[in-house]
Chains A and B, each alone.
Chain A
Amino acid sequence: MPNNSTPKILPSEITDEQDYLNRREFLRLAGVATAGALLSTACQADVSNAAATAGKPAGESNFSGGSLGKLQKSPFSTDEKPNSYEDITTYNNFYEFGTGKDDPHRNSKDFVSKPWTVTIAGECDKPGAYDFDDLMKKSTLEERIYRLRCVEAWSMIVPWVGISMATLLKRFEPNSRAKFVKFTTLHDPEQMPTQRRRILDWPYVEGLTIAEAMNPLTIMVVGVYGKVLPNQNGAPLRLMVPWKYGFKSIKSIVHIEFTEKQPLNTWQISAPQEYGFYANVNPDVDHPRWSQARERRIGTGLFGEKIPTLMFNGYGEHIAHLYSGLDLAKHF
C-alpha cells in the first residue's frame, strides 16, 4: 500500500507555496501511483479517487498525467504557441518502445516508472543511489516552454516541467576532473520491447560537456503541460537541451556519471558519419541524407509551410559562447 502517501514536510520546507510545486499533492499522487502499479486492480478505488481529486477522469489508473500543481514561470520560455498535448504525446521518437512515431504511446502504457532509482557515479563526492521522489522533494519545478527540433527536420513547441540541471547536479558535488556528464536510459527488455532487438547499442547513452550540463537552459524534465511526464515522453525523468537535436535529450534516465573523457553517445556509435557528440541544431550543416535548413512544425496541418531552422534552435545568445573556436561543421 502507499508507503509515502503521508509525507512529513516541515513548514520551512514549503517555500513560497504559491509559486512552487505543491509537494504534498505530488507525493500523494506518487504514493498512489506506486500502489497503482503494484496492485492495479486491488487499489482501483483509491486510484480513481485520487485521479478525480487531481482533476482527471475517474478510473484512470496510470500515474502519468497527474497534475504537478503550481509551477514557477521562466524567462527562458518562448511565447510561441505550444503544440497540443495530443501531438506531444502521440508523435514521439523513443526507439525502446518501437521505431514508429505512434509506437511509444501505444507500447509504453504499462511501463512502471515508480518507484525509480537514479544511480550517480564517477567524478563526484556524493555518488550513490537516489530515489526519484527524494530528489524531487528538494526541487523547484519550473515551466519551460521550449522549441524542440528533431534531427529528422520536424519541430514542436513543448511546455516542459523541469528542474534546473545545474542545481540537481551540484547536489552530487562533481569534482574538478568532471569534464563530461554521461546519462544512461533504463535497460529492461521486458518492458522496452525494442531492446530485444539490436537495432541500437542498448542501453541508450547520451553525454554533455559539464559546461553544457550546467548551462541555465539545460533542465531535467519531469512533466509536460503541468502534468507528470507521460511514459512515451521519457518518464519519470529525461534531459532537455533545447539547442541540440532531440536525440540528445535522453529519456527515462537511471544512471548519471561524471567523467573525465568524452562519452560515446548511442547514435554516434550507430552511425558516426551522421551523428556526432555535439548535435547542435545547425541549419548550415546538413545531415548526410537530408537538409537541415528548414523544418516542419508539427501541428501546421497538410498545407503548413516549412520554416527556416534557427542556428542553435534560436538559443544562441545563451550558449553560443560554449562553442567559440570549435569547427561546427567538423564537430556536428
Chain B
Amino acid sequence: MRLLKTLVFVVALLPAAKLVLASFAIAGLSLGANPVEELLHEAGEWGLRFLLITLAVTPLRRLTGMNWLIRFRRMLGLFAYFYLVAHFLIYALLDQRLALGPIIEDIIERPYITLGITALTLLTPLALTSTNAMMRRLGSRWQRLHRLIYPAAILGVWHFWWQVKEDIREPLIYAAILAALLGIRVWHRQKGQNRRVATPVD
C-alpha cells in the first residue's frame, strides 16, 4: 500500500513536473506562444480533473467493493487543491502581476472569475481540515463540512463553461462526468443503502 501510494503521488505530480520543465524549455518542452495562458489552462484543467477523480473514489468503492480505494481520497483531493491554488497563483502573479485593482474588478465584475474564486474558497477549509487530528476533532461535522466539495465542483465546471467562447465540447464532457458522479450518489441515497459509517481513513 505504501508503495502504491508513493506511485500515485509521483504520477499525480507528473503534470506539474512537465509544466515546470516546459516553463524553462527543458527537454525540448515548450509552453508555446502564450506561456501564461498555457500554464493557467493546464493547471485549471488538472485541478478540475483531480476534483472529479476525488469524487469518483466513493462511487467506485461502492461499485467494486474495493474499500482500500478510500485511502487515496485525501491525497487526490489535496492534489486537486494543489493544482487549483497553482491555477489561482498563475492568474494572480503571472497573468495579473498582482495588480490588485484589476484582480478585484475581475472577481466582482467577471461572473466566471466570481464562480472560480467562490469554488476555491469553498475548497480551502476542506484542505485545512484534511489532517487526522482535524478529522477527530470535528467528528461528524467533518463529513458535513466536506460535502462542500459538491458545490465547489459544480461551480468549477460552471466557471470553465462560462469562459469558453463557442466550443463547449470540453466543459460539456466535464459536466457530464460530474453529473454522473453526483447522480450515482443521489441514486444510492434513494436506494437507502448509504449507511453513513464514519469512513476510516488511515
Contact = CB atoms under 8 A, between A and B. Distances in A.
Interface in B73-123: 94-97, 102, 105-106, 109-112
Interface stretch (B33-41, B43-51, B125-133, B136-144): B33-41
A199 B166 contact: yes
A199 B170 CA distance: 13
B167 A99 contact: yes
Given A294-B102, A305-B97, A87 B33 contact: yes
Contact of A102 (B32, B94, B105, B112): B32
15 contacts: A87-B33, A99-B166, A101-B33, A101-B34, A199-B166, A290-B106, A293-B102, A294-B102, A296-B95, A302-B31, A302-B35, A302-B39, A304-B36, A305-B97, A306-B97
A199 B172 CA distance: 13
Interface string A56-98: 0000000000000000000000000001001100110001000
B115 to A, nearest CB: 12
Nearest to B23: A302
Task: Enumerate the 10 nearest inter-chain pairs by beta-carbon distance, A residue then B residue, closest first.
Answer: A91-B33, A99-B167, A87-B33, A199-B166, A302-B35, A298-B33, A199-B167, A305-B97, A298-B34, A270-B166
B105 to A, nearest CB: 7
A102 B105 CA distance: 30
A8 interface: no
Nearest to B33: A91
Of the listed residues B97, B102, B165, B166, the one surrounded by the most CB atoms of chain A closer than 10 A to its CB is B165
Contacts of B162: 289
Nearest to A247: B165
State the main secondary structure of chain A at its contact with B.
loop
B67 interface: no
A202 to B, nearest CB: 12
Contacts of B106: 290-291
Contacts of A54: none
A290 B34 contact: no
Given A200-B166, A270-B166, A291 B105 contact: yes
B159 to A, nearest CB: 11
A315 interface: no
A115 interface: no
A132 interface: no
A7 interface: no
Interface residues of B, number: 25
A303 B36 CA distance: 8
Nearest to A88: B33
B32 A101 contact: yes
Interface string B12-39: 0000000000010000000111111101
Interface of A: 83, 86-87, 90-91, 95, 99, 101-102, 152, 154, 199-200, 270-271, 286, 289-291, 293-294, 296, 298-299, 301-306
A95 to B, nearest CB: 8
B163 interface: yes
B164 to A, nearest CB: 8
A231 to B, nearest CB: 17
Contacts of B112: 289
B93 to A, nearest CB: 9
Given A99-B167, A102-B32, A199-B167, 19 more contacts: A83-B33, A86-B33, A87-B33, A90-B32, A91-B32, A91-B33, A101-B32, A154-B37, A271-B166, A289-B112, A290-B110, A296-B34, A296-B95, A298-B33, A301-B35, A302-B39, A303-B94, A304-B36, A306-B95
Given A289-B162, A291-B106, A302 B36 contact: yes
A269 B32 CA distance: 31
Contacts of B111: 289
B33 A299 contact: yes
Contacts of B102: 291, 293-294
A308 to B, nearest CB: 11
Contacts of B36: 296, 302, 304
A290 B95 CA distance: 13
Contacts of A302: 23, 31, 35-36, 39, 94
A42 to B, nearest CB: 35
A260 to B, nearest CB: 30
Interface string B147-165: 0000000000000001101
A90 B110 CA distance: 29
Contacts of A294: 102
A200 to B, nearest CB: 6
Nearest to B102: A291
Contacts of A303: 94
